[in-house]
Amino acid sequence: MQTRRDFLRGILVAGGGLASFGGLSSLARLANAQAVQPDAPERHYVFCYFNGGWDILLGLDPRDPRRFNEGNLRTTRIQPGYDQLQGSDGRLVETPAGITFGPYIGELAQHVDRLAVIRGMSMDTLTHEVGRRRFLTGKPPSGLQARGSSGATWLASHLGERAPIPNLALRVESYNRDLPHFASALQVDSVADLLRALRPSQPLLPDGVRRQVGETLAETADCEGARQSPLWRAAEAARRKVLDMVSGGYDRLFDFAARTDAMAALRDHYGITNDLRTPEVHAAFAAQAITGGVSRCVSIEVASGLDTHFTEWSTDQGPRQMRGFNAVSRLVSDLARREYRGTGTSWLDHTVIVGFSEFSRTAMLNDRGGRDHSLTNASFVIGGNVRGGQVIGRSTDVGMGPTAVDLRTGEPTPEGEVLRPEHVLQTLFDEVGVGDAPDLRVPAIGALLRA
């Protein structure tokens, strides 16, 4: 449970203490940072995290069990294991776009025309923390410590601070290294945490007293000593930000238990029940934050418990993964049906959704009936200017290893580059003009976006 004090502390020091900003000298730079990038495209972002290491054979990167079978297992080193799944017939999902998915892709396959799948990625790690933080920041951690800011933080910084909470994270880590404090994610563990933070505390001060306190604090912050203090200026900016958020009525967007027609329709669309800590709620949370004008970047956990080393792989991995895919699918449908600010386009046309996990699972089942950690990974990107209906890259047909890709065409080639998380982030950065500032040292994936 996050207390209001935690919330206020997070606003003031951006969730990581002064060290996150590089000290007081950095705070001085933040106070003078440009808040708005007028040339930035109208983009919003949702990062969907599948926690624990998904099995791409069951979803994003399957293999035909007729070709990859027990008879040639020593040659292919790939064991789909679909016949061992409990609760599924193990059939692959064929789409009109010619893309084949695993048996647990769920409703996400319905959006294949807007969906780009990236296969054959390399994570260069088998450690959960390292893989997760590399995908979040686009940089290999130093030991287990993240290096650099999260991709969502860079994007929020570039797009400006006009949104009440430019960067919002629900059960997902976030990092800010020397970027403006407004771009740091407000991190919450549940929808209830956010509601508690956005609603005024009880009992309320009388209006006259509250106004007098505010005027006194503002006058104090405007004195010569305060104006020369970077920390004081940051604290005053945080105070004003909190007042704006608490007085804005934004809590109504996230009150999923409210007895209104609009909220009832939202619950019906996402399949929300009384439990407010589910993938369905998290997806609805992202939609409300984006379309309600609260945030430009939202990170959510849509699946957990995917670290299936034992026999629970056959019972739990697929359903948990599919529930996350279904939640993302409903988010896509929701954004697609909402018109974007009277433009005749949809919110999906202006929102990019990225699905990721820290790594995948081995192509071979282990002797305990589960799968261990694999360096190879996959990802998916949907919405915005993404060129859908395509697969970029591939994993090898022997052991499902990473392969090099021509970044312009998305086709495998020995002369290309092995894809990593930083390629995906750099593509998003380049589209909105963030450029080389994050120093990810890789080019964008040209094939990922429409010309």
Residue type, 450: R
Beta bridge partners of 100: 94
Contact 303, 324 (CB under 8 A): yes
Inform me whether the pLDDT recorded for 216 exceeds 70: yes
* pLDDT > 90: percent of the chain: 77
| Domain contains 400 | yes
| Domain contains 234 | no
Q: How confident is the model at residue 240 (pLDDT cuts 50, 70, 90)?
A: low
Model pTM score: 0.88
Q: How confident is the model at residue 34 (pLDDT cuts 50, 70, 90)?
A: very low
| Domain contains 240 | no
CATH code, 298: 3.40.720
Inform me whether the pLDDT recorded for 79 exceeds 70: yes
Q: Tens of pLDDT along 47-59?
A: 999 999 999 999 9
Q: How many structural domains comprise the chain?
A: 1
Inform me whether the pLDDT recorded for 18 exceeds 50: no
Which of the residue ranges 4-8, 209-213, 247-251, 412-416 has the most confident prediction, judged by mean pLDDT?
412-416
Comparing CA positions, the residue from 338, 343, 240 lying closest to residue 290 is 338
pLDDT computed for residue 219 by the predictor: 79
Among 91-95, 98-102, 242-246, 410-414, the range scoring the smallest mean pLDDT is 242-246
63-70 mean pLDDT: 97
Contact 46, 331 (CB under 8 A): yes
| Domain contains 358 | yes
| Domain contains 229 | no
Q: What is the mean pLDDT of the chain?
A: 89
For 121-190, the DSSP string reads: EE-S---HHHHHHHHHHSS--BTTB--S--HHHHHHHHH-S-SSSSEEEES-----SSS-GGGS-EEESS
At residue 382's C-alpha, the angle toward residues 187 and 348, to 5°, is 80
Where in the sequence is the domain holding 182, given as residue range(s)?
4-199+252-448
| Domain contains 297 | yes
Contact 217, 240 (CB under 8 A): no
Q: Tens of pLDDT along 345-383?
A: 999 999 999 999 999 999 999 999 999 999 999 999 999
Among 27-31, 122-126, 248-252, 317-321, the range scoring the smallest mean pLDDT is 27-31
pLDDT computed for residue 378 by the predictor: 98
| Domain contains 128 | yes
419-435 mean pLDDT: 95
| Domain contains 367 | yes
207-235 mean pLDDT: 76
pLDDT computed for residue 215 by the predictor: 73
